[in-house]
Amino acid sequence: MTAGSGVLILLLSLSGALRAHSGDLTAREICKAGFSEEDYTALISQNILEGEKLLKVRFSSCLGATDTRYETSSSDFEVRADGTVFATRELWVPSEEVAFTVTAWERQTAERWDAVVRLLVAQTASPPSGRKVPKKGEKTPAPAPARPPSAPLLPWPQHQPSSGLRRQKRDWVIPPINVPENSRGPFPQQLVRIRSDKDNDIPIRYSITGVGADQPPMEVFSIDSMSGRMYVTRPMDREERASYHLRAHAVDMNGNKVENPIDLYIYVIDMNDNRPEFLNQVYNGSVDEGSKPGTYVMTVTANDADDSTTANGMVRYRILTQTPQSPSQNMFTINSETGDIVTVAAGLDREKVQQYTVIVQATDMEGNLNYGLSNTATAIITVTDVNDNPPEFTASTYAGEVPENRVETVIANLTVMDRDQPHSPNWNAVYRIISGDPSGHFTVRTDPVTNQGMVTVVKAVDYELNRAFMLTVMVSNQAPLASGIQMSFQATAGVTISVMDVNEAPYFPSNHKLIRLEEGVPPGTVLTTFSAVDPDRFMQQAVRYSKLSDPASWLHLNATNGQITTAAILDRESVCIKNNVYEATFLAADNGIPPASGTGTLQIYLIDINDNAPELLPKEAQICEKPSLNAINITAADADIDPNIGPYVFELPFVPAAVRKNWTITRLNGDYAQLSLRVLYLEAGVYDVPIIVTDSGNPPLSNTSIIKVKVCPCDENGDCTTIGAVAAAGLGTGAIVAILICIVILLTMVLLFIAWMKRREKERHTKQLLIDPEDDVRDNILKYDEEGGGEEDQDYDLSQLQQPETMEHVLSKAAGVRRVDERPVGAEPQYPVRPVVPHPGDIGDFISEGLRAADNDPTAPPYDSLLVFDYEGSGSTAGSVSSLNSSSSGDQDYDYLNDWGPRFKKLADMYGGGED
């Protein structure tokens, strides 16, 4: 061997017969879509026939296999629905490898997955040494070094030096390495030896990479870095992983690559180490009773984790037992390949056998019981009911009775028998009356629990018309009878129904009864005979009448024959009338046992007559005292109705003559007119204007109505002014002015009084009380009726006005200043006759003394208390104080009154020459 050419030696030490396989993975029961592997490899021959199966790819879909479609990148190969790859035509493969892509996609999601398929051409003419056969012109390689007998040598792929024009040699294709699963060892077990012929010159280190070496699962395979021997370290499990793809590397001691990496494909050979497993331990199926042989029942499915392309994974089915074995021990059979269970014998009858239990066995190795592994499952087959048993009455005739006028009453129960499945459409009974009830008085309803027919009255029957019924009833099922099943002669039965007579209430044939007559008919007038009919023709009974409702007590009823007469005058305008109709209610009762009664309503339509005179509207109005456009619109109201109402005639009476002189009426239409002034001016006030209103009745009625018209002055807009409204109430202009002046004076006096009260209140709070608390008269009764016809009829001591100090001996107070306004308590002395004109000085001294006593008395009453000086009358011996301001007073000087304080301010103003 030349130094430039490298040779790889593969040493295979596998015991037993080895064979290639497709390496598909066992389907895992997890919903993760995708191919079981990314790279599939298979050995093929150079000559491929059309339709030849090459390998099988496994794709897991979450939507089911029926939704998955496959495509290939090569038109020479296709993939079936089960993942089998086959050739579309006859091929001759000149190269050592054919590679293409398989694409799986789901129609529903349009998602795609890809996997690579490599087809390796098996070497059919290898040299015994396992070396690559040199081509013409090449040097024969040197002999390989000694090796164990079980290690055939395969050359490492050789490459020509980069210098020169010699063409590069073709690489070797390393055949796959097959490893049986579940090997017992011992481990590690040598698989192959990898060697480069460059190790004669330099030390070489060998390594492997890939899944199972340096990628999970780790260290399934190992290699001796110096010798190149590759080992498997533990038993393989094809169901865990079916193939491995490794790469072998050769480097020098410095880590430099001395050979190109080569691919190693390791396939795990399947062994029959898995039993078939049913998807369910119990399968439930059903089949109709009476089904013909060959009817599909159900499908059972068992999966084998072993290779399905070999006998290890090929499952076959068979039935072990059937329970019960009636009417035959072989009622069912199973398709050994598909697991479909079908009927094989006739005679399925639910009424005899409702359910079968079938034990099914699944065996791999294509059903070989000697070598295959088996498992069992239970198939429960329910025989479903069909309507093959018509319902039948248990009796041919039935009887019942019903009171007349009664509805929704069950009068008879019809019993039937049906052997089909209870409470199913094949068992549920449907009843139909086919004769004997032309008027539809009865119906037959189905009791949902007992399936009995309940004959029910839906339309009241009358004993006087029908005393008995003979019905014919037919029964059937909700579901139609099965093909070939005839209706039973017991599907019909007769029902006899007797009607019982009961006391029925009398009734009024014409209810509500309406009569028409004019209002105002006199009492005692016969209106009508409102009689009732007793439906009990076969009972001798009497009917009596009575009133239930007569709102106005206008009617009289004959209790024996129902004749109605008027008891009062019927008035259409009564409040008891609604829409011209008077309504009364009557009762008719028989003497049956028990008594029965019925009611009737009589409606009396009253025709209107002209018995109500019209009334003028409005009753009051106002108008300007001068003619203007604001005339008064008048109309009339009449309790009658058309034609006894409008059009109305409005007119003024001739008496008194002032009415037609001052007023005039203008017709607007049939119901309205206008009242207005005829004169140019009418003094403000209230006027009673009589107006005659006549309706259009036959004969017409008239009525004289008074309208109160207020005539008042108006502004420019035609509206009454405020003064005008008062004037219209009946006052003249002078009276109105006087009233306004009085109002102003009254308001002025009120304001002055309020100001004076506030001033007195202010002064009262600035001074202390002038009298003792026991003499305070604010809460006492003061008597003011001491004035008579003059001072002649009273014995007052008027001398006190000149000498008040002479009375001090009669005062009850011991000390202090005595007020002169207090009445003496002792006997009143006789005073000499005083001159007619008192001396001014005496009066001044008297007033000064009284003022001083009032100002200095701590027990004095408030400023607004009564101060008694004395009483003056005609012929008084004291004379008249009115001369103070009279022309006979002379030239008196009263300026000193200004010095007497605020109490005498007004007096000083009057006599002292102050403000007027």
Determine the Cα–Cα distance for residues 189 and 230; give it in Å rounded to an integer. Answer: 8
Domain boundary among 104, 121, 138: 121
Whether residues 577 and 546 share a domain: the answer is yes
User: Cβ(711)–Cβ(728) under 8 Å?
Assistant: yes
Whether residues 311 and 265 share a domain: the answer is no
| Count of Cβ atoms closer than 10 Å to residue 432 Cβ | 13
User: Cβ(113)–Cβ(59) under 8 Å?
Assistant: yes
Assigned token pair, 251: 């480097």
Determine the Cα–Cα distance for residues 377 and 280; give it in Å rounded to an integer. Answer: 7
3-state secondary structure of 417: strand
The pLDDT confidence band at residue 483, using thresholds 50, 70 and 90, is confident
Q: Map tokens 């793809």 to a residue.
A: 245
**Is residue 810, in this structure, part of any structural domain at all?**
no
Whether residues 573 and 489 share a domain: the answer is no
Determine the Cα–Cα distance for residues 576 and 331; give it in Å rounded to an integer. Answer: 91
CA-based nearest residue to 624, from 750, 689, 702, 716:
716
The pLDDT confidence band at residue 29, using thresholds 50, 70 and 90, is very low
Do strands 632-637 and 615-617 pair parallel, antiparallel, or not at all (unpaired)?
antiparallel
The boundaries of the domain holding residue 416 are 392-500
Backbone angles phi and psi of 610, in degrees to 5? -80, 85
Do strands 526-529 and 563-566 pair parallel, antiparallel, or not at all (unpaired)?
antiparallel
Whether residues 468 and 402 share a domain: the answer is yes
Three-class HEC string of 814-827? CCCCCCCCCCCCCC
Question: For 3-30, what is the mean pLDDT?
Answer: 36
Assigned token pair, 117: 């398929």
Determine the Cα–Cα distance for residues 558 and 564; give it in Å rounded to an integer. Answer: 6
Determine the distance from the C-alpha atom of residue 893 to the mean position of all C-alpha atoms in its chain, rounded to a whole number: 105
**What is the model's pLDDT at position 124?**
41
Which residue(s) pair with 515 in the sheet?
604
Assigned token pair, 764: 């009262």
Q: Map tokens 């005609």 to a residue.
A: 874
Assigned token pair, 583: 């309504």
CA-based nearest residue to 79, from 68, 70, 66:
70
Max avg pLDDT among 120-124, 329-333, 850-854: 329-333
Over residues 757-807, the pLDDT tens digits come to 888 888 776 654 444 545 554 555 555 555 555 544 455 454 555 444 444
Whether residues 286 and 208 share a domain: the answer is no
**Surface-to-core class of residue 159, CB atoms within 10 Å of its CB (0-12 exposed, 13-18 middle, 19+ buried):** middle
Q: Identity (one letter) of the amino acid at 134?
A: P
**Is residue 789, in this structure, part of any structural domain at all?**
no
Whether residues 322 and 367 share a domain: the answer is yes
**Is residue 163, in this structure, part of any structural domain at all?**
no
Whether residues 671 and 574 share a domain: the answer is no
Q: Identity (one letter) of the amino acid at 661?
A: K
User: Nearest-5° angle of CA 743, CA 744, CA 747?
Assistant: 85
Whether residues 46 and 85 share a domain: the answer is yes
**Is residue 156, in this structure, part of any structural domain at all?**
no
State the chain's maximal CA–CA distance in angstroms.
200
Asked whether the predicted pLDDT for residue 231 surpasses 90, the reply is yes
User: Cβ(161)–Cβ(4) under 8 Å?
Assistant: yes
User: Nearest-5° angle of CA 317, CA 320, CA 324?
Assistant: 130
**Is residue 242, in this structure, part of any structural domain at all?**
yes
Which residue(s) pair with 318 in the sheet?
361
Question: For 488-508, what is the mean pLDDT?
Answer: 90
Determine the Cα–Cα distance for residues 120 and 176; give it in Å rounded to an integer. Answer: 9
Residue 636 belongs to a domain with what CATH number? 2.60.40.60
Q: Identity (one letter) of the amino acid at 183?
A: S
**What is the model's pLDDT at position 81?**
86
Determine the distance from the C-alpha atom of residue 139 to the mean position of all C-alpha atoms in its chain, rounded to a whole number: 98
Over residues 324-346, the pLDDT tens digits come to 999 999 999 999 999 999 999 99
Determine the Cα–Cα distance for residues 35 and 377; give it in Å rounded to an integer. Answer: 30
**Is residue 875, in this structure, part of any structural domain at all?**
no
Average pLDDT, the chain: 79
Domain boundary among 73, 88, 121: 121
Q: Map tokens 């009961």 to a residue.
A: 502
Query: Structural domain tally of the chain?
Result: 6
User: Cβ(610)–Cβ(697) under 8 Å?
Assistant: yes
Torsion angle, alpha carbons of 681, 685, 690, 695, to 10:
90
Whether residues 541 and 496 share a domain: the answer is no
3-state secondary structure of 669: coil
**What is the model's pLDDT at position 785?**
52
Whether residues 648 and 682 share a domain: the answer is yes
Over residues 57-88, the pLDDT tens digits come to 988 887 766 678 889 988 889 998 888 999 99
Asked whether the predicted pLDDT for residue 348 surpasses 90, the reply is yes
Determine the Cα–Cα distance for residues 901 and 543; give it in Å rounded to an integer. Answer: 111
**What is the model's pLDDT at position 132?**
37
Whether residues 574 and 590 share a domain: the answer is yes
Q: Which residues, including other chains, have CB under 8 Å from residue 525's CB and lie 6 or more apart? A: 565, 566
CA-based nearest residue to 414, from 438, 385, 386, 442:
442
The residue with greater pLDDT, 734 or 635, is: 635
Max avg pLDDT among 494-508, 815-829, 871-885: 494-508
Pick the range with the lowest mean pLDDT from 168-177, 338-347, 464-473, 589-598.
168-177
The pLDDT confidence band at residue 650, using thresholds 50, 70 and 90, is very high
Determine the Cα–Cα distance for residues 383 and 286; give it in Å rounded to an integer. Answer: 6
Asked if the bond preceding 656 is cis, omega within 30° of 0, the reply is: yes
Asked whether the predicted pLDDT for residue 98 surpasses 60, the reply is yes
User: Cβ(457)–Cβ(409) under 8 Å?
Assistant: yes
Question: For 386-400, what is the mean pLDDT?
Answer: 94
Domain boundary among 384, 411, 444: 384
Q: Map tokens 């008579």 to a residue.
A: 788
Assigned token pair, 787: 């004035």
Provide the percentage of residues in the chain whose pLDDT is more than 70.
Answer: 75
**Is residue 96, in this structure, part of any structural domain at all?**
yes
Q: How many CA atoms lie within 13 A of 659 on its CB side?
A: 17
**Is residue 535, in this structure, part of any structural domain at all?**
yes
Which residue(s) pair with 604 in the sheet?
515, 582
Determine the Cα–Cα distance for residues 43 and 243; give it in Å rounded to an integer. Answer: 13
Determine the distance from the C-alpha atom of residue 648 to the mean position of all C-alpha atoms in its chain, rounded to a whole number: 61
Over residues 515-552, the pLDDT tens digits come to 998 888 899 999 899 888 888 777 778 889 999 999 99
Asked whether the predicted pLDDT for residue 610 surpasses 50, the reply is yes
**What is the model's pLDDT at position 2?**
34
Whether residues 401 and 491 share a domain: the answer is yes
> Using alpha carbons only, how large is the chain's radius of gyration in Å?
71
